[in-house]
């Protein structure tokens, strides 16, 4: 189906179902319950899940298949955002042209950076990409202020020409990004008992784009091109000895990965038409590396899981403060309550990075394949227990028959 094998079709179907049902899955607790703090089913966060999932999928095409570790992919994310906002300012608030320009601009930018950086490999390649990203950040933050808006960022204005749409909405306000009349901020709420679910047009549009990006990634993984990239990762020197030039393949992977990042940047601008230099900072590049490693380098679904984990911790765990903790443990004696809160508090709220660091160390040490390897181990354990039970049942029947 769709040119995919059974396993890949099943995986794509699972991702599609999870994407569709995400507003239900990430809102497991009633609105007024104490555990509602952990609900993540609101549109803004769901959009971040899928957008950074796209970013991580694209990064995995480079790092997971070729082994080239880039510390500069945030540059393409930022370039994509700027291109989308400029399209909103000059032409139309329709998200399709904006996203198309984001992908194209990021791809051209990736050709330039990749052509130079890929002359080196290993740590030298990583440092080159980091240097380019930081130069891009510095240009966007100060030198190219008329184009990028500098430290305040690039924003929409009523004076923008917007050739196709006009400068303002009917009420005189700034227009919002949309898709042929459907605004990205449009949403519908469904109340079921004490639960409240929100279905956002922006989230489902981003989710559809992520599914298309995920499908394309599967096709790349299973293609001869993907096999060539794996050969380069395994031993590039041997590939060169066969007479094949590996550089065009690595450059193609770098450009495709950069276009994925540009796509994510365009979607970020489509959800919130603002582009800032902070999206290009080196920490954003490091974040996508963490997403890929946590989920599972070289796996298909792993980067999406890693992106979801980090964004969940950044937006949910970071909001848990001492007052919330005292509310949870109020049933304990005062001394014990204060002791428990003092133990837990350093790992949440502003200290959520500490928890992320511990998780990262545990994954690297005990699960080199990331969350995907953890899931595979659990599945093998369950299958082994089931086979042991079936074997015991068979032996019992045999003994009874004898």
Rounded to whole angstroms, what are the CA distances from 129 to 125, 133, 202? 6, 6, 32
What's the confidence (pLDDT) of residue 169? Answer: 56
In a domain, 321, yes or no: no
In a domain, 400, yes or no: no
What's the confidence (pLDDT) of residue 72? Answer: 92
In a domain, 88, yes or no: yes
In a domain, 354, yes or no: no
In a domain, 215, yes or no: yes
Q: Could you tell me the residue range of the domain that residue 185 belongs to?
A: 6-281
What's the confidence (pLDDT) of residue 399? Answer: 62
In a domain, 313, yes or no: no
Q: Give this prediction's pTM.
A: 0.92
Distance CA 84, CA 22 (A): 26
Tens digit of each residue's pLDDT (9 = 90 or more) over 73-111: 999 999 999 999 999 999 888 999 999 999 999 999 999
In a domain, 191, yes or no: yes
Strand partners, 94: 178
Nearest to 208, CA basis, from 381, 53, 10 = 53
What's the confidence (pLDDT) of residue 178? Answer: 86
What letter would DSSP give residue 141?
I
In a domain, 304, yes or no: no
Q: How many domains is the chain built from?
A: 1
Q: Are 289 and 71 in contact (CB under 8 A)?
A: yes
What's the confidence (pLDDT) of residue 292? Answer: 94
Nearest to 16, CA basis, from 261, 262, 297, 301 = 301
Q: Which residues of the chain have pLDDT under 70?
A: 1, 166-172, 390, 392-394, 396-402
Q: Which residues contact 259 (CB under 8 A, 6 or more apart)?
A: 58, 76, 103, 106, 107, 110
65 Cα distance to chain centroid: 18
Cβ atoms < 10 Å from Cβ of 232: 24
């Amino acid at each position: 189906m769709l040119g995919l094998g059974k396993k890949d079709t099943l995986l794509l179907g699972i991702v599609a179902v999870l994407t569709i049902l995400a507003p239900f899955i990430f809102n497991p607790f009633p609105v007024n319950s104490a555990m509602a703090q952990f609900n993540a089913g609101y549109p803004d966060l769901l959009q971040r899940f899928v957008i950074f999932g796209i970013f991580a999928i694209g990064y995995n095409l480079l790092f997971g298949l070729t082994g080239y570790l880039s510390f500069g992919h945030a540059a393409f994310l930022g370039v994509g955002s700027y291109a989308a906002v400029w399209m909103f300012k000059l032409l139309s608030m329709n998200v399709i042209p904006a996203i198309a320009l984001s992908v194209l601009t990021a791809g051209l930018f990736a050709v330039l950076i990749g052509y130079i950086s890929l002359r080196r490999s290993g740590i030298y390649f990583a440092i080159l990409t980091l240097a380019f990203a930081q130069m891009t950040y510095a240009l966007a933050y100060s030198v190219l202020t008329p184009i990028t808006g500098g430290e305040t960022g690039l924003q929409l204005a009523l004076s923008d020409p917007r050739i196709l749409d006009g400068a303002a909405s009917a009420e005189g306000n700034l227009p919002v990004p949309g898709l042929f009349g459907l605004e990205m901020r449009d949403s519908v709420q469904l109340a079921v008992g004490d639960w409240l679910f929100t279905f956002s047009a922006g989230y489902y549009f981003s989710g559809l784009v992520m599914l298309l990006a995920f499908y394309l990634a599967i096709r790349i993984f299973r293609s001869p091109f993907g096999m060539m990239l794996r050969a380069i990762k395994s031993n590039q020197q041997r590939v060169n000895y066969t007479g094949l030039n590996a550089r065009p393949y690595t450059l193609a992977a770098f450009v495709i990965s950069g276009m994925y990042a540009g796509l994510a940047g365009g979607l970020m601008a489509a959800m919130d038409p603002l582009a800032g230099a902070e999206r290009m900072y080196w920490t954003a590049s490091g974040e996508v590396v963490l997403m890929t490693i946590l989920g599972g380098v070289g796996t298909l679904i792993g980067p999406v899981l890693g992106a979801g984990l980090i964004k969940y911790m950044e937006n949910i765990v970071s909001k848990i403060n001492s007052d919330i903790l005292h509310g949870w443990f109020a049933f304990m004696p005062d001394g014990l309550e204060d002791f428990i809160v003092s133990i837990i508090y350093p790992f949440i709220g502003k200290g959520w990075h500490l928890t992320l660091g511990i998780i990262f160390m545990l994954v690297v040490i005990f699960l080199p394949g990331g969350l995907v390897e953890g899931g595979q181990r659990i599945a093998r354990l369950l299958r082994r227990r089931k086979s042991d039970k079936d074997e015991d049942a068979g032996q019992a029947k045999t003994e009874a028959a004898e």
